[in-house]
Chain A
Amino acid sequence: MPAEFLPGDAPQRGALSFEEQDFIDRLIASHQGQPGMLLSLLEEIQERQPHKYLPADYLEYLAARTGIPGAQIYSVATFYALFNLKPQGDHTICICRGTACHTRGSRDLLERMKLQLGLVPEEDDGSADKLSMTTPDRRFTLRTVACFGQCALAPVVEVDHAIHGHVNERALDREVDALRKGGA
Chain B
Amino acid sequence: MPRITDLSSFNEAREAGLAKLLPPTPRIAIGMGTCGTGNGAEAVLQSFSDAINQRGLSIALARTGCFGFCAAEPLVNVWLPGKPLVILQRVQPNDTAAILDDLTAGRIPAGLALCRIDEWDHITGHVKYGSGFPEIPLWNEIPFFKGQKKIVLRNCGLIDPTDIEEFLAVGGYQALYKALIDANPASIVESIKAAKLRGRGGAGFQTGSKWEFLSKAKADRKYLICNADEGDPGAYMNRNEIESDPHSLIEGMIIGGYVTGASHGIVYVRAEYPLAVHRLETAIHQAEEWGLLGDNILGRGFNFRLQLIEGAGAFVCGEETALIRSLEGKAGRPTPRPPYPADSGLFGQPTNINNVETWYNVAPIVVKGPAWFTETGSPKSPGTKVFSLVGKVVNTGLVEMPLGTPLKTFVYDVGGGTANDRAVKAVQTGGPSGGCIPQEMFDTPVDYETLAQLGSIMGSGGMVVMDEDNCMVDVARYFIEFTHSESCGKCIPCRVGLDKSLHYLNRITQGKGTEADLATLDELGRMIRDTSLCGLGQTAPNPVLTTMRHFRHEFEDHIRASRCRAGVCEDLALSPCENSCPLHMNIPRFLQLLKEDRLEDAFVSVVMDNPLPASTGRVCQHPCDDRCRRSGIDSAVNMREVHRHIADSIYPSPRFPDLVARLSALRKPSTGLRCAVVGAGPTGLACAFYLRMLGHDVMVYDSNPNAGGMLRYALPDYRLPKEVLDREVELIKLIGVDFTFNTRVPADISLNELDQRYNAVFLAIGTWKENWVYLPGTELTGVIPALPFLESVSKRETVPLGKRVIVIGGGNAAIDSARTALRLGSGVTILYRRERKDMPAIPEETEAAEAEGAKIAFLASPHRIVGSPDGRVTAIEAVKTRLGEYDSSGRRRPIPTDEIVRFNCDTVILAVGETVDIDFAKASGLKISDRGLIEVDRYSLETSRSKFYAGGDLITGASNVSGAMGLGKKAARNIDKRLTGLKRWRDLFPKFEYDQAAPAHPSDSRRHHVRELEAEDRARTFSEATVGLTSVEAMEESCRCLRCDVRTGDH
Contact = CB atoms under 8 A, between A and B. Distances in A.
Interface of A: 1-3, 34-40, 42-43, 68, 72, 75-76, 79-83, 97-104, 115, 128-130, 145-154, 156, 163-165, 168-170
A34 B346 CA distance: 11
B313 A152 contact: no
Contacts of B464: 99-100, 103, 151
A27 to B, nearest CB: 14
Nearest to B230: A149
A152 B390 contact: yes
14 contacts: A1-B347, A35-B309, A36-B309, A39-B326, A76-B331, A79-B333, A80-B314, A80-B331, A81-B313, A100-B233, A115-B1048, A149-B238, A149-B239, A150-B38
Contact of A152 (B70, B327, B462): B70
B485 A128 contact: yes
Nearest to B486: A146
Interface residues of B, number: 68
Contact of B266 (A35, A148, A169, A170): A35
Q: Give chain B's interface secondary structure class.
A: mixed
Contacts of B223: 35
A74 to B, nearest CB: 10
Contact of A128 (B239, B309, B348, B484): B484
B130 to A, nearest CB: 30
Contacts of A153: 35, 38-39, 70
Contact of A83 (B272, B312, B328): B312
B311 A103 contact: no
B1048 A76 contact: no
Nearest to A3: B329
A152 B268 CA distance: 24
Interface stretch (B391-399, B596-604, B880-888): B391-399
B91 to A, nearest CB: 16
Given A36-B266, A72-B330, A153-B70, A42 B391 contact: no
B231 interface: yes
B332 A99 contact: no
B263 interface: no
A82 B328 contact: no
Interface centre among A35, A82, A128, A163 (most CB of B within 10 A): A35
Contacts of A102: 233, 478
Contacts of A82: 271, 312-313
B236 A147 contact: yes
Contacts of A168: 632
Contacts of A146: 231, 233, 313, 315, 482, 486
B151 interface: no
Contacts of A104: 391
B312 A81 contact: yes
B310 interface: yes
B234 interface: yes
Given A40-B309, A100-B464, A163-B34, 19 more contacts: A1-B347, A34-B307, A35-B223, A35-B347, A37-B329, A39-B326, A68-B329, A72-B330, A76-B330, A100-B233, A100-B390, A103-B470, A128-B484, A149-B236, A149-B239, A149-B273, A151-B236, A151-B462, A152-B397
Nearest to A72: B330
Nearest 3 Cβ contacts at the A-B interface: A152-B70, A149-B236, A81-B313
B328 A79 contact: no
A97 B73 CA distance: 22
Nearest to B467: A103
A79 B232 contact: no
B271 A43 contact: yes
B481 interface: yes
Nearest to B71: A152
A97 B312 contact: no
Interface in B287-336: 307, 309-315, 326-333
Contacts of B587: none
A126 to B, nearest CB: 11
A151 B481 contact: no
A49 to B, nearest CB: 15
Nearest to B236: A149
Given A165-B38, A170-B632, A151 B271 contact: no
Contacts of A150: 34-35, 38, 236
A147 B633 contact: no
Contact of A79 (B71, B233, B331): B331
A98 B233 contact: yes
Contacts of B232: 147
Contacts of B493: none
Given A80-B313, A82-B312, A129 B481 contact: yes
Interface in B411-436: 428, 431
Nearest to B346: A35
A154 B310 contact: no
Contacts of A76: 329-331
Nearest to A79: B331
Contact of B38 (A37, A163, A169): A163
Interface centre among A1, A34, A80 (most CB of B within 10 A): A80
Contacts of A103: 391-392, 464, 466, 470, 475
Contacts of B34: 149-150, 163
Nearest to A148: B272
A103 B422 CA distance: 14
Nearest to A145: B272
Contacts of A151: 234-236, 388, 390, 396, 462, 464
Contacts of A97: 233, 482
A129 B485 contact: yes
Nearest to A162: B38
A34 B70 CA distance: 37
Interface string B338-356: 0000000011100000000
Nearest to A153: B38
Contacts of B478: 99, 102
